[in-house]
Amino acid sequence: VKGEMTFANKGVSYCTTCDAPFFKDKHVIVAGGGNSAAEAVIDLVPWASKITVVHRSQWRADAILLRKLEDIPNLTIHLETQILEVLGDTSMNGLMVNNKSSNETFTIDAQGLFIEIGTIPNVSLIKDLVALNERDEVIVNDMQETSCEGLYAAGDVTNQPFKQIIIATAEGAKAALAMNQYLNK
């Protein structure tokens, strides 16, 4: 999206958990329509004065999360709406969007944008070797072991909750230590 990289760390963020406090009493936009986006909205409630969701299609988030969003009074939702450009001068100050249903193009003034479009785990190399859950995440135990003996997995490709870089890094270290222990048996 035009302007996204220009305003990265100048209003555009990829980590609600990390950056929400920087947007205290500000209007923020969450881009996305899956579980990551719904959870980001919930995480932003104590911080943001207003939250707007922009998603290019319909919600894909779990029903339980969508029910939680119904009780948020300062939430506006724009579905079937495509982000065209991140606007700003020295920092982000809004978005230009297009509602695909009405073909209306308009701007949304805001001080922050949280990109929460989620990811799809790439398990193509190992999908026939290991057990996967309903989201195609590799199922691991607390030592990062998969269902295939001697094969370990870590990070966002696994069924572990909290998809954060620091957690994925720690899981990688744990997997390496467990692998070393396995190889030295």
Walk me through the domains of the chain, giving residue ranges and CATH numbers.
Answer: 12-115 (3.50.50.60), 121-185 (3.50.50.60)
C-alpha span between 180 and 9 (Å, rounded)? 38
Torsion of CA 51, 24, 118, 133, to 10 degrees: -100
Question: How many CB atoms lie under 10 A from the CB of residue 140?
Answer: 24
How many angstroms from the chain centroid is the CA of residue 149? 31
Distance, CA of 123 to chain centre? 19
- The region, left, alpha or beta by phi > 0 then psi within -120 to 50, assigned to residue 118 is left
pLDDT attached to residue 6: 97
> CA distances (Å), 52 to each of 31, 55, 112, 176, in order?
9, 10, 10, 41
User: pLDDT 10s digit of each residue in the chain, 185 long?
Assistant: 999 999 999 999 999 989 999 999 999 999 999 988 999 999 999 999 999 999 999 999 989 999 999 999 999 999 999 999 999 999 999 999 999 999 999 999 999 999 998 677 789 999 999 999 998 999 999 999 999 999 999 998 999 988 888 999 999 999 999 999 999 99
**DSSP secondary structure letter of residue 21:** G
pLDDT for the residue 111 = 98
Instruction: Give the whole-angstrom CA distance, residue 132 versus residue 29.
Output: 33
What is the phi/psi pair of residue 33, to 5°?
Answer: -140, 10
Give the pLDDT score at 179. Answer: 97
